Amino acid sequence: QVQLVESGGGLVQPGGSLRLSCAASGNIFSRYYMAWHRQAPGKQRELVAGITSGGTTTYTDSVKGRFTISRDNAKSTVFLQMNSLKPEDTAVYYCAAVGSLSRFWGQGTPVTVSS
């Protein structure tokens, strides 16, 4: 079992930045593929970015060049640095830990981009 706790969401103006954090319980964090998803009102949850245990990253096209995912295996934490935020980035952001047989979700942290 893995428990995930996100933090760092909030209200930001267009063009601003936020850094989301996701702290994981357990001592096998390094084995999991970690990802950030988001769900905007009335829309399906979508994958934003992912990172393997070795540090290989992937991003959805709409955030490439603006968002950066990283992880600190020693601290069992994954981060999402979000720059040049746009109103369309407004959503609840969820952290996920993906193993070979299981997937765990955090409770989500809301991000609102508005002037």
pLDDT tens digits, 56-93: 999 999 999 999 999 999 899 999 999 999 999 999 99
Share of the chain above pLDDT 90, in %: 85
User: Is 22's pLDDT higher than 80?
Assistant: yes
CB atoms < 10 A from the CB of 57, how many? 13
Residue 107 Rama label (left phi>0; alpha psi -120 to 50; beta):
alpha
Q: Which of 105, 93, 99 is nearest to 48 (CA)?
A: 93
| Residue labelled with tokens 């760092």 | 8
* Whole-number average pLDDT of the chain: 95
Query: What percentage of the chain exceeds 70 in pLDDT?
Result: 99
